[in-house]
Amino acid sequence: MLRWIGRLFLRRKPRPQEATPGLREAEAALERAQAAQSVEDERTVEVAAAMHRLRELRERNHFAEMFRAAMGGER
């Protein structure tokens, strides 16, 4: 019985296991997804800036149309 208790406390630490093919594929897929997400985050900033610019142009165009209409239409 004492041997069993001694072995219980003196157990070796388990060796780290090598990554399985499924784990390597999952890690690669995660890296690809994270890279795609960072590209999308950058693109979102660019799209928001373009949207803001288009909104400003639309407002200016609307103001110009209202001004023309107030002045008596197209010339």
- Per-10-residue mean pLDDT of the chain, 75 residues long, equals 70 75 92 93 90 89 82 68
33 — alpha (psi -120 to 50), left (phi > 0) or beta?
alpha
Dihedral angle over CA of 56, 58, 59, 61, nearest 10:
120
Domain locations in the chain as residue ranges: 31-75
Closest CA to 62 of 47, 70, 50: 70
* pLDDT at position 17: 76
User: What amino acid occupies position 40?
Assistant: E
On whether the CB atoms of residues 69 and 61 are closer than 8 A, the answer is no
* pLDDT at position 53: 92
* pLDDT at position 31: 95
**pTM to 2 decimals?**
0.45
